[in-house]
Amino acid sequence: MYETPEQREAERRVGQRVAQEWGCDFYQNKKAFCADFTLIKGDHVAFAECKIRKHMFGHYPDLYLSALKVQNCISLSMVFQKPMLLVVGFNDGIYYTNLNKLPLWDYRISINGNGKRDGYDIDPQDREPLVHIPNEAFQLVVSR
């Protein structure tokens, strides 16, 4: 909803690098779609949500993501019986996890968002439940 063209471009670069590393085709989904990109290799398809973080992996103990985003992505994955990946570009590498295989019910939920983004007032509806996914759930795709 608040994604900038620069963020979409950064996500595209990360998705293309993942596709290159895994030897598959990359397709960036339209902005309104719940997953940022789709990866295809032969008959195999995976959906992926992509996040960009401006710090090193492990700087924080977990990565938080909108609970609604997770719900929508898991629903998409379940309907089509395809993996739903969370791909994250950190300063030191690109990491991923398969959201379908995580015990999300065990993870911490918090409410976050303060009505500001990059120091500017934004939509007060930007406060929402977040799920905290521990670093141990992620695997390295490629170092930077």
**Tens of each residue's pLDDT in the chain, 144 residues:** 678 999 999 999 999 999 999 999 999 999 999 999 999 999 999 999 999 999 999 999 999 999 999 999 999 999 999 999 999 999 999 999 999 999 999 999 999 865 555 666 556 677 889 999 999 999 999 998
Q: What is the pLDDT of residue 42?
A: 97
111 class by beta-carbon count within 10 Å (0-12 exposed, 13-18 middle, 19+ buried): exposed
Question: Could you tell me how many residues make up the chain?
Answer: 144
In the chain the domains, ranked by start, together with CATH numbers, are 5-143 (3.40.1350.10)
The structure tokens listed for 88 are: 């994250």
Residue 44's identity, in one-letter code, is: H
pTM for this predicted structure: 0.91
